Amino acid sequence: MHSYIDIFNFTPPVRFKPLDKLEDEILQRMEEQGAASKLSKEEYERFVGKMMACMANYYDLVGVDVIDGATTEPNGLLPRFANALTGYFEKLASLPEGNKEIAVLQASGVTTIKVRYKYTDSVIKKLIKLGLRDISVLEDPMGVFLKGGALHDLIGMQFVCSSPYEREWVARALYSFFEYDHRTDDHLLYGFYSVKRESGYRGLHCDHTVFYPRFDEMLAKEGVDSGISVETYDTTMDDREILKRFRTLFNVELQLHTAFENLWAGMEHRNSYNVQAKGAGRSKKIAVQWNLLSDTMKNLEMQFERLQVDTEQARFEVGYRHGYTFVASVLKRLDEKAYDTYREYVSKSESLETLLRQHEISRQAYVEESLAIAKEIEQVAAEQTYPTLKILFLMQSAFVHYGLANHRNYFNSEDIYRFVQEALKYYLSIYEMLKADESIYKSNLLKIIVILRYQQLAQQYGLGLIHTGEGVMSEAERQLVNYDTNFALFKDVLEQLNELTPEELSEIKADDAAFLKMVHRTDVLAREWELLVNEPPKEHARIVKEVARFRERYITPELTEHFETLLEHNKIKNVSYVVKFYTTLVWHGLILPLDALRQIIRYSAYDKIKTSDLFYYELAAYKFLAVEKCESLAVCREKQENRTMSERTRAHFEDFHRKNMIRQLFKIYKNESRFSFLRAKFRFEHLTGTHFKMDHFSEKLSGTAESI
């Protein structure tokens, strides 16, 4: 991503007329906006009087004088506050030890931060526009400029990133610096809303925000004097004191622009802002041309982003749904002829999948031919003399059914339900065969693969080990993936993994990502099982010990090294899986949440990451930072009871990640399966102690966490 952030103050030429000369400009702007035809003479004069009172207060805020036609350097609260904002971000970016929040902004794609306050002409235009709608907004000539006043964009901050996909990451990161309403409402983007004007202007805006860096002890809410006012400003105050004392007095309008949007806006403001965007000088002809230019630049931006996606995705090519290559290697080792037959059927399945993706075969034909291949493989299995060869062919037949069950983009829910039903039946049947015949070559490794295949489907189409499903799952759903079966398989896979010999483990590690999949999926099962105590105390204690053995052996720093080695050599082709594995590493304190986030943002450049995958990252970060109170990997590993993290910092992380998860839960509910939502909801409620409700949402935004 980007290696720097430029921070500078956006300072157009300053133009301040003497206050007694502003009346002519106010009258001119009112004429441009057609005020003469809207107001009577008395109303007109009253309006101008209120405008002059507002501008007098504006000049006080700016702290500028005009002497003999020359403007003094503005040294009032308003320019000092804007400069202090700039200085604050500059200082954080220059800290030798770095700053986590700035690092997240940087990783999110921010290249430029701009700060500005409105100058005289802009203030006059905006106040006239607001006053003509409702003259009462001008009744408080100072309050109109402050928090809660009508002029919400007196101070503006603009954050520029390279690509559209980065804006959501930036919006997410800005919550660490600003306080604003409706951040987690599911129809908004972290409080930001899209702006598309007739002129062609585009951008994401967030109004009525207050500068509030939650991570900064010196700028705590508790240190703000509720009786603070503009009159208490002193020119001798330093920037830090100004931010601390006055930050709650001002609205700050936030804007998110891509590089192309920023280029267009800069050109438009410089060349035609007064002609076509404001007042009586609006020209539809010019507006249309600027709009066309905006659309053209948007198309260019999309092409650049597509090029970036294609470039990055070159090493993440969409491949066929492959099984564990370990199965094929065992088959080749035992019988070369059988292996050739196996490869022939694999090739047939891959060719069919290609035809389906290219829409050169109907879905019905695809299913019929896939099932025919599965039947042929079963026939080959029946002809095998050795039990091991029979099992290996049956596993490939089951894998064909597994592939059908994972084609949700092509088939309706009823079809998928039947495919899942068949796949689960096949894997359970193979599992029973493996249990009945321990003489089968590599029986324990094959059993692990079969169990994890079964559990992967059970997690997608049921609640797995999280819940028994009573009152949540239908009778048909519980019969499809019932808790007792899931639990029995979970116990077995723990036992098999805990008893693997070094030779067997080495064999699995040679199978690219197979070892990672086994560890990750088993640990996910363990995390789900840990949510609820469903077994008698003695049985529960035994499983706890087995889980501890599993993690002691597999969840180690060496796991991180193995993962990074595979990534470096392009051995992992599934971006969703990469995000999930980073989550596992964060959950167990093997990597810092910030380091994982940097990588997740990077991978989001070339694939759409599911909301549920991001949710579990947030959950892991919440556990690491808010529950474990870890600030470093060393602290997390040492399990120190007395953490050094301050309560304020911990509360910041708790609020930040909890609200991220609330928003994501709404998106999961809308866009993903019912079981994905329920699983995420149970995990969220259990870890955070917050009851997630689909109704009374605004109450959740403003209120404190509600205990379960």
In a domain, 425, yes or no: no
What is the average pLDDT across 676-697? 85
DSSP 64-129: --EETTEEPPP-SHHHHHHHHHHHHHHHHHH-TT--HHHHHHHHHTEEEEEEEE--HHHHHHHHHH
Domain boundary among 276, 311, 346: 311
Task: Note whether residue 693 is domain-resident.
Answer: yes
Q: Are 654 and 170 in contact (CB under 8 A)?
A: no
pLDDT (mean) for 354-365: 88
- pLDDT score for 318: 45
- pLDDT tens digits for 41-95? 888 889 889 999 999 999 999 987 766 666 677 889 999 999 999 999 988 888 8
User: 334 lies in a domain?
Assistant: no
pLDDT at 184 over 70: no
Average pLDDT value for residue range 343-350: 90
Report the share of the chain in percent with pLDDT over 90: 35
For residue 192, what are the β-bridge partners? 189
pLDDT at residue 260, as a whole number: 82
Q: Which tokens in the block code for residue 468? A: 């028994």
pLDDT at position 286, please? 73
pLDDT at residue 417, rounded to an integer: 85
378 has pLDDT over 90 = yes
State residue 7 phi and psi, 5-degree precision.
-125, 120
Contact 138, 131 (CB under 8 A): yes
Residue 10 pLDDT > 60, yes or no?
Answer: no
Q: Give the H or E element holding residue 384.
A: none
Task: Let me know the angle formed at the C-alpha of 200 by 195 and 204, rounded to the nearest 5 degrees.
Answer: 25
Q: Is 472 exposed, middle or buried (0-12, 13-18, 19+ CB in 10 A)?
A: middle
pLDDT bin (cut points 50, 70, 90) of residue 189 is low
**Which of the pair, 271 or 403, is modelled with greater confidence?**
403
pLDDT of residue 557: 92
Highest mean pLDDT among 255-264, 613-622, 663-672 belongs to: 613-622
Q: Residue 407: is its pLDDT beyond 90?
A: no
- The answer to whether residue 566 is domain-embedded is no
- Structurally, the chain folds into a number of domains equal to 2
Q: Which residue, among 81, 241, 246, has the nearest Cα to 147 in the 3D structure? A: 246
In this prediction, residue 700 carries a pLDDT of 46
Higher pLDDT, 117 or 699: 117
Report how far apart, in Å, the C-alpha atoms of 267 and of each of 158, 274, 548, 619 are.
16, 13, 61, 43
CA–CA–CA angle 325, 327, 332 (5° rounding): 95
Whether the pLDDT of residue 657 is over 90: the answer is yes
**Mean pLDDT along residues 141-155:** 90
Assess whether pLDDT exceeds 90 at residue 491. Answer: yes
Average pLDDT over residues 98-119: 87
Nearest to 256 by CA among 376, 147, 159: 159
Look up the pTM and report it: 0.81
Over pLDDT 70: what percentage of the chain? 84
Contacts of 431 (CB under 8 A, 6+ apart): 447, 450, 451, 454, 489
- Single out the residue in 265, 284, 311 at which a domain terminates: 311
DSSP assignment letter at 237: -
pLDDT band for position 1 (cuts 50, 70, 90): very low
Q: In terms of pLDDT, which residue wins out, 115 or 289?
A: 115
Type and span of the H or E element at 196: strand 193-196
The token pair at 417 is 């339900």
pLDDT of residue 311: 60
Examine residue 384 and state whether it is found in any structural domain, yes or no.
no
Cα–Cα dist 590/557, whole Å: 6
What integer pLDDT is reported at residue 270 of this predicted model?
61
Segment holding 141, helix H or strand E:
none
115 neighbors 85 (Cβ within 8 angstroms) = yes
Residue where a domain terminates, one of 311, 335, 360: 311
CA–CA gap between residue 522 and residue 252 (Å, rounded): 47
Residue 465 has what pLDDT?
86
- Please, are residues 655 and 666 in contact by the beta-carbon 8 Å criterion? no
Residue 335 lies in a domain: no
Residue with the bigger pLDDT between 154 and 323: it is 154
pLDDT tens track for 551-610 = 999 999 999 999 998 888 878 878 888 999 999 999 999 999 999 998 898 888 766 788
Residue 211 included in any domain:
yes
SS3 of 153, please? coil
Asked whether residue 562 is assigned to any structural domain, the reply reads no
Name the residue with higher pLDDT: 421 or 328.
421
Could you tell me which of 77, 58, 60 has the C-alpha nearest to residue 233? Answer: 77
Range of the domain at 662: 573-708
